[in-house]
A = this chain, B = another copy of it.
């Protein structure tokens, strides 16, 4: 935990917060903090800052916070991800938040099993906890927005253009003729990256995504596991736009 993430409502008018949960245990047992210790803190979706530990006891840790005036910029990458196997998604949540993703759309595709959408890994209480773990690891405060869309066609036809109006749209698929290195890095633009299921998008899905402005590229001849591919692609693309 490189950052203690606080909910805005937890902080009182004197910038004081009383922690009694996992964060308190972490501060006491892992960081072994004593009164006077300075910790990095951040408001969920808000500013970073420093917190001075005022007291530590078995039940609670009290911290007095001072926040920076500027809120860090939102991550500039969004994701349209064919719903992975729940076991894989479970491992990915924290990594998405740590790598910096603004919005994650989990989409049905032809080669995605319908029952994946019944998994508990799609429950907000489940994934929010893991997303916050990722923020605490990476020292970030922006919680990714999560949209779950169990129908491909209505999402692409009715929502996609409005959600990503001015985005550079990139689509990773083995049938893409360009490598991502063939794209010129762009400054300060938002990107939305579409990543298909293990078996790939169908030709119909590829056509629809391209009709809605996605440019295809390939990652080379290697077939990567979804989790490896997601982390690799987000890293590559974040360096294309920085």
A contact set with B: CB distance below 8 Å = 2, 94-95, 98-100, 137-140, 179-181, 185, 220-225, 228, 231-236, 238-240, 242
Contacts and interface: CB of A to CB of B under 8 A. Distances in A.
Nearest to A225: B137
Number of chain copies forming the complex: 2
B179 A242 contact: yes
A95 to B, nearest CB: 5
A224 B181 contact: no
Given A228-B95, A228-B98, A138 B233 contact: no
Nearest to A2: B223
18 contacts: A94-B225, A95-B228, A99-B222, A99-B224, A137-B223, A137-B224, A138-B223, A138-B224, A139-B223, A179-B242, A228-B231, A231-B231, A231-B232, A232-B234, A232-B235, A233-B235, A235-B235, A236-B239
Nearest to A139: B223
A172 to B, nearest CB: 11
A33 to B, nearest CB: 18
A236 B236 CA distance: 5
A221 B137 CA distance: 11
A94 B223 CA distance: 12
A25 B214 CA distance: 40
A96 B211 CA distance: 35
Which of A139, A220, A240 has the most CB atoms of chain B within a 10 A radius of its CB? A220
B222 A140 contact: yes
Given A139-B221, A224-B137, A235 B231 contact: yes
A100 B222 contact: yes
9 closest residue pairs by CB, A with B: A232-B235, A138-B222, A231-B231, A181-B239, A95-B228, A2-B223, A235-B236, A235-B235, A236-B239
